[in-house]
Amino acid sequence: MALIVHKYGGTSMGSTDRIAQVAKRVAKWTRAGHQIVVVPSAMSGETNRLLGLAKELAPARQTAEYLRELDMLASTGEQVSVGLLAIALQAEGVAAVSYAGWQVPIRTDNAYTKARIDSIDDRKVRADLNAGKVVIITGFQGIDGAGNITTLGRGGSDTSAVAVAAALKADECLIFTDVDGVYTTDPRVVPEARRLHTVSFEEMLEMASLGSKVLQIRSVEFAGKYKVPLRVLSSFTPWDIDIAEEAKSGTLITFEEDEKMEQAIVSGIAFNRDEAKISVLGVPDLPGIAFQILGAVADANIEVDVIIQNVSRDGKADFSFTVHHNDYARALDLLKDKVLPALGGQANVVGDPRICKVSIVGIGMRSHVGVASKMFRALSEEGINIQMITTSEIKTSVVIDEKYMELAVRTLHRAFDLEQPGA
Ligand code: ASP
Ligand code: MG
């Protein structure tokens, strides 16, 4: 008997029919003798619908009073899901009880709309499991120290599931979703993309932060911190698929590097269209300039990703960095209004929102030289110009013109032999 956490995403919970299928699948796992905790998302589209209602009434604001109410509102989607799933399980003849985050409780800080989990009290859940019940807990939400409902950021149910699994020291956390695992890249861009049977936790973390949308980044961080065995698998197989087969399906996120020894040097190609480039040209080449520019950006709570500064000529340097699209206009204004005047008015700011970032990821890069140059050669053979480069131990990213994104991803996928065998 194992203790297993199942997480079902919005599409998997998308209708009462789908919820009935989830109930049948969960019932199958309990009949096989396992203790099951289920963490579902809201029904697909529901969180957007709820947040849309708020917009109909008032423009978004960043005040705590407003954000508190957004969380109060958005958290209800998951409450609907857990109630419906418990009803469906009971109809299957399986004892089940549902809880909202505050009932467990799942304690968080008070950063509304992006709260972090501080602790989870497992006593009630354990008592129910020991009494033979399936326990269903809302994803995406918790309660702060003052008793307010909080949410964990979009896609946060993944994090709830992993955190619950960590708190219960579950044997495994199964993330059931609408794709059947983690792929070498997005199959919509490269149809020959291949499902990975295993991916190391570090690679998964890079892929999630570089734009792969399979798991919320924070859930991967959490899994790493507490060593939660995590598997991404499909909820669209027939619910009565053989349980032993199902338990091995999808992609397992591993913590053992040895298991990866035989694997390719590059495991995946990630891409991200959500960034824009900003360059500050002709800044004086003096100590403190990077701080003056990026300090102002950080103070405005704008996250910066790739940064480059060229070698100076005639005492002047150019300084470029990327920010999220949503922060682009604000960052440009800030630089023009505040930073340029402070730099003595000689520098100049230009921006380009039509860029993208393409990355190769693989823990094999640690022990192999020449991986990045192979990437650059493949791109140059397609005539793709690289605007910026950034590397870490297990990834190399390039910033290129957005219009070459798909070509770049396909080219790199081929260059690093990631296609399906025989494709
Ligand atoms: N329902 C929330 C969202 O749409 C959380 C989740 O689905 O993970 O972002
Ligand atoms: Mg999701």
| Mean pLDDT for the stretch of residues 331-343 | 91
Query: Ligand 1 within 6 A of 154 CB?
Result: yes
Q: What is the per-residue pLDDT for 261?
A: 52
DSSP state of 42: P
Residues 6+ apart with CB under 8 A from 145: 107, 109, 110
Rounded to two decimals, the pTM is 0.88
List Cβ<8 Å contacts ≥24 apart for 308-312: 308/388, 308/389, 308/390, 312/285
For the CA of 77, the closest atom of ligand 1 is 1
Q: CA of 281: how far to CAs of 115, 286, 320, 347, 354, in Å?
A: 38, 14, 8, 6, 19
Q: What is the pLDDT of residues 43-91, one digit of tens each?
A: 999 999 999 999 999 999 889 999 999 999 999 999 999 999 999 999 9
142 close to 150: Cβ distance less than 8 angstroms: yes
Q: What is the per-residue pLDDT for 349?
A: 94
Q: Is the pLDDT of residue 373 over 80?
A: yes
| Mean pLDDT for the stretch of residues 121-138 | 98
Q: Is 307 helix (H, G, I), strand (E, B) or coil?
A: strand
39 close to 158: Cβ distance less than 8 angstroms: no
User: Is the bond leading into 238 cis (omega within 30 degrees of zero)?
Assistant: no
CA 306, distance to chain mean position in Å, is: 19
Query: Ligand 1 within 6 A of 219 CB?
Result: no
In the reported structure, the alpha carbon of residue 369 is separated from the centroid of ligand 2 by a whole-number distance in angstroms of 35
Query: Ligand 1 within 6 A of 101 CB?
Result: no
Residue nearest atom 4 in ligand 1 by C-alpha distance: 47
Q: What is the per-residue pLDDT for 312?
A: 79
Q: What is the pLDDT of residues 150-166, one digit of tens each?
A: 999 999 999 999 999 99
Where do we find the tokens 């304690």? 107
Q: What is the per-residue pLDDT for 62?
A: 84
In the reported structure, the alpha carbon of residue 272 is separated from the centroid of ligand 2 by a whole-number distance in angstroms of 17
| Mean pLDDT for the stretch of residues 260-279 | 85
Within 13 Å and on the Cβ side, how many CA atoms surround 255?
11
Within 13 Å and on the Cβ side, how many CA atoms surround 119?
4
Q: What is the per-residue pLDDT for 284?
A: 87
Query: Ligand 1 within 6 A of 156 CB?
Result: yes
For the CA of 153, the closest atom of ligand 1 is 9
Residues that place a CB less than 5 A from ion ligand 2: 9, 155
Work out the mean pLDDT of the chain and round it to a whole number: 93
413 close to 190: Cβ distance less than 8 angstroms: yes
Q: Is 356 helix (H, G, I), strand (E, B) or coil?
A: strand
For the CA of 140, the closest atom of ligand 1 is 5
Q: Parallel, antiparallel, or unpaired: how do β-strands 355-361 and 348-352 relate?
A: unpaired
Query: Ligand 1 within 6 A of 77 CB?
Result: yes
Q: What is the pLDDT of residues 80-100, one digit of tens each?
A: 999 999 999 999 999 999 999
Ligand nearest to the CA of 215: 2
How many angstroms separate the CA atoms of 137 and 158, rounded? Answer: 12
Q: Is the pLDDT of residue 422 over 80?
A: no
For the CA of 48, the closest atom of ligand 1 is 4
Q: What is the per-residue pLDDT for 243?
A: 97
35 phi, psi to nearest 5 deg:
-90, 130
Q: What is the per-residue pLDDT for 423?
A: 43
Q: What is the per-residue pLDDT for 209?
A: 84
Q: Is 38 helix (H, G, I), strand (E, B) or coil?
A: strand
Q: Is the pLDDT of residue 171 over 90?
A: yes
| Mean pLDDT for the stretch of residues 199-227 | 90
With pLDDT > 70 as the criterion, what percentage of the chain qualifies?
97
